[in-house]
Amino acid sequence: MDSDSIDSADFSKLLLGPGPSNVPQRILKAISNNCISHLDPDFFDILDEISKNLKNLFKTKNETTFAISGTGSAGMEAAFANIIEKDDKALIFNSGLFGDRMADVASRYGGRVIEVKKEWGKNFKFQEMKEAIDREKDLKVVAIVHAETSTGSFQPIEELGEYLKNSDIIFIVDSVTSFTGINLEVDNWSIDICYSGTQKCLNVPPGLSPITFSEKALNKIKKRKEKVQSWYLDINLLKDYHEQSRVYHHTAPVNMLYGFNEGLKICLEEGLEERFSRHQKVSKYFDSIIKSTDFGFFVDKESDSLPMLKSLVLPKSISDDLRLEILKNDRIEIGGGLGHTKGLIWRVGFMGCNAEIKNVDIFFEVLKSYV
Amino acid sequence: MDSDSIDSADFSKLLLGPGPSNVPQRILKAISNNCISHLDPDFFDILDEISKNLKNLFKTKNETTFAISGTGSAGMEAAFANIIEKDDKALIFNSGLFGDRMADVASRYGGRVIEVKKEWGKNFKFQEMKEAIDREKDLKVVAIVHAETSTGSFQPIEELGEYLKNSDIIFIVDSVTSFTGINLEVDNWSIDICYSGTQKCLNVPPGLSPITFSEKALNKIKKRKEKVQSWYLDINLLKDYHEQSRVYHHTAPVNMLYGFNEGLKICLEEGLEERFSRHQKVSKYFDSIIKSTDFGFFVDKESDSLPMLKSLVLPKSISDDLRLEILKNDRIEIGGGLGHTKGLIWRVGFMGCNAEIKNVDIFFEVLKSYV
């Protein structure tokens, strides 16, 4: 990690929730550059650079790799809106809020959604996913969340991609929280559509969704009988602007894209492997201390737990209200539970530049001052 | 106008196109503030302030008034996605590219679209709009662009709103280019859904779409038989986050919203009337000089022409390529034509803080150096 980008970050609050994470000054500075036109050749150079850098980080050669002009949830919607045609059968492996969201989005776009559900905090084993897929005929889409932000659970997807590779099934992966924090290989794992967010391990403010489409996905979209229902997210139109012809579609969010490019550069300067092991190191350190407290792990197995987002079961002695007290008094954000875990768990994030041993120490020091 | 916000703007390029316009340093500084969580009570205060300021500028009491997390085109999509149910009849008055876009978006969401078309650069008279509406039975939506960015044409809408007021028809207005540049009165003109962009007269970078929904619009949405097709733009879910309950929907684009709020404040400090007359003054000055050149006006009547965006017919002696030459050599952006006007017209914008006599002088001085 370029130490400058960590040290120079003057955090007004320490964001140890599930995102947004803290934004290095270098990225904030880029965002505050003067705005130029979305049709300026100088801006096209920036778009080219973004695409090149993003391909490197997604580990893909996909030509159609850029940022959707909306948050990670807009990326999710772009994936399903483009791929799903009326009555397309979509199998969704769901073990958290973002699995629920996938099912909702896919069905809004006319998909026949089959959900395979699992208790929150658990992940799916390849064998059971294979069996679920084999049970279904005429499956068009399989979708899964790589890193479930609502539970802190890690979902291995490599074998699943390998299994779907030679089928006609489109493989959609949500990498909102995993991207640049743990290994993700779009091409090697045969992912057809992969989307992410910017406000997690990338440390760019929320507002954009990096996305990539394989040739296989684009071919399915080309054969659609009806137009993509969303004009704003129609990949046929977005491709024209983001790739060669630069035809105007909508006005790209210029300043956010300045910051996004800076975030991508910071990752590439550090190197992905270095970045992954930094997250692992901090996670192991955090876990080793948690074991000596009254907190429980919401995700049972250590190897199933995300390094950048730790989900903790609150002991009876600690009220969820303490989070807001800490935010107010100590200017440290900790995430609460979503859905039925509200009030029962905390989600503690060490994402991107926040994945530092010192932040773990700060977390426990502050906690100690209250309990 | 707070002169500080103009003078302190260190423009690397002078943006005299159809938007984005130049962004004052004060707004860029706000955007580069440290990011905090979208669920932080301090951020909720900012959202409250945004809603209050936006209501003032839209001249509305509508509770549901906030910024969509996407550009102006996402605002357009939010309007139609929420209001249109399958086979709803939508009448669209279309005299430019953004009229075309409305028709496309409305039909993607299942609307039966009736387009009343007019030559680009012309606007609709109330009497003909009234007749078109009277011809149709069971009309659910009437939509029109207040300021057509593709042509520079101004469309009066006050009488149309008055006519639709006591009907069940939902009145949608695109104010992307007009908002804070010319008068717009959402409540007095009985507009049901009004959306805009940030990168025009507001001088905020592109990326958000201010929007407002009347009770009449929300009531139609409440009665929908099917879910809104777009999850990301579903007003039922967005309302929960942006109004009282603050339930998490998607991660709001925090830093862009910092800048947006600053842009709203700048408008309110100057005052809308002052701002409108500044745009008029600059427009009149520009027109008076154009008359002595070989350029023609694309919009015939001066009163039908937008003050913040002037469309000029190129004389034979000037090639459209000159725009790119000026951008490269003089760092001044001028907009080209869209659709069938490409190569034939220029669009010259004096939007928000760019509406200054000195910018008109700069435009003509630079032009003189080439022709």
- Structural domains of chain B, ranges and CATH numbers in brackets: 3-22+272-368 (3.90.1150.10), 26-268 (3.40.640.10)
* Contact state of A105 with B231 under an 8 Å Cβ cutoff: yes
Phi, psi of B277 (to 5 degrees): -70, -30
pLDDT at residue A9, rounded to an integer = 37
Distances (CA, A) of B110 to A229, B67, B94, B216: 9, 25, 19, 21
For A223, the 3-state DSSP assignment is coil
- Angle, helices A322-330 vs A357-368, to 10°: value is 110
Whether B228 contacts chain A with CB within 8 A: yes
Considering only the beta carbons, identify the residue of A28, A77, A251 that sits closest to B19: A251
CA distance B59 to chain A (A): 26
Residues 128 to 147 of A: which have CB under 8 A from any B CB?
none
Using CA atoms, how far apart are residues A310 and A151, in angstroms rounded to an integer?
8
Q: What is the mean pLDDT of residues B39-64?
A: 96
The residue of chain A nearest to residue B13, with distances taken between CA atoms, is: A36
Q: How many CB atoms sit inside 10 A of residue A250's CB?
A: 22
Assess contact for A207 and A131: CB atoms under 8 A. no
| Global ipTM | 0.95
Cα–Cα distance for residue pair B234/A171, rounded to 1 Å: 26
Q: Tell which of A35, A195, A347 to mutate to test the B interface (max B CBs under 10 Å).
A: A35
Which residues in chain B have their CB less than 8 angstroms from residue A346's CB? none
pLDDT in tens, B63-97: 999 999 999 999 999 999 999 999 999 999 999 99
Q: Is A114 on the interface with B (CB under 8 A)?
A: no
Count A/B contacts: CB-CB distance under 8 Å: 195
Asked if the Cβ–Cβ distance from B206 to A101 is below 8 Å, we say no
* Reported confidence tier of residue B4, pLDDT bands at 50, 70, 90: very low
For residue B244, the model assigns a pLDDT of 76
Put simply, the chain B residues between 315 and 344 with a CB less than 8 A from any chain A CB are 324, 327-328, 333, 338
State which H helix or E strand residue B285 sits in.
Answer: helix B272-290
Distance from the B115 Cα atom to the nearest Cα atom in chain A, whole angstroms: 18
Determine the residue type at B347: R
Pick the closest to residue A312 from A296, A294, A301 (CA basis). A296
Question: Rounded distance, CA B50 to CA A62, Å?
Answer: 40
Q: Which positions ≥6 away from A173 have C-beta within 8 Å?
A: A143, A144, A145, A146, A157, A184, A189, A191, A193, A194, A195
pLDDT at residue B50 greater than cutoff 70: yes
Determine whether the interchain pair A40/B13 forms a contact, defined as Cβ–Cβ distance below 8 Å.
Answer: yes
CA distances in angstroms from A103 to A172, A178, B23, B78, listed in the order given: 12, 20, 40, 21
Statement: residue B356 has pLDDT above 60:
yes
Q: What share of chain B is helix, strand, coil (3-state, %, to 5)?
A: 40, 15, 40
Q: Which residues of B touch A27 (CB under 8 A)?
A: none
Q: Considering CB atoms only, which of A69, A229, A254 is closest to B229? A: A229
Structure tokens at B142: 């009437």
Mean pLDDT for the stretch of residues B46-64? 97
Chain A residue with Cα closest to B107: A229
d(CA B366, CA B358): 12
d(CA A210, CA A3): 25
B206's CB contacts (< 8 A; 6+ apart) are: A35, A38, A251, A252, A253, A254, B19, B20, B71, B72, B197, B198, B199
H or E element that contains A312: strand A309-313
Helices and strands in chain B, H and E counts: 13, 14
B19 part of contact set with chain A, CB < 8 Å: yes
Say whether pLDDT at A360 is over 90: yes
CA gap B275, B349 in Å, rounded: 15
pLDDT at B288 over 50: yes
Q: Which of B20, B32, B37 sits opposite A37 (nearest CB)?
A: B20
Contacting B residues, span 71-100, partner chain A, CB-CB under 8 Å: 71-74, 77, 81
Confidence grade of residue B1 (pLDDT, cut at 50, 70, 90):
very low
Dihedral sign, CA of B7, B13, B15, B20?
A: negative
Predicted model pTM: 0.96
Angstrom distance (rounded) from CA A9 to CA A22: 8
Kindly calculate the radius of gyration of chain B based on its CA atoms and give it in whole angstroms. 20
Residue among B104, B199, B255 whose CB faces A251 most closely? B199
pLDDT classification of B371: cutoffs 50, 70, 90: confident
Cβ–Cβ of B15/A22 closer than 8 Å? no
Distance from CA of B202 to the nearest CA of A (A): 13
Contacts 24+ apart (CB under 8 A), B100-107: B100/B339, B101/A231, B101/B73, B101/B76, B102/B76, B102/B143, B102/B145, B102/B172, B102/B174, B104/A231, B105/A231, B105/B76, B105/B77, B105/B80, B105/B81, B106/B80, B106/B141, B106/B143
- Using CB atoms, which residue from B20, B256, B324 is nearest to A256? B256
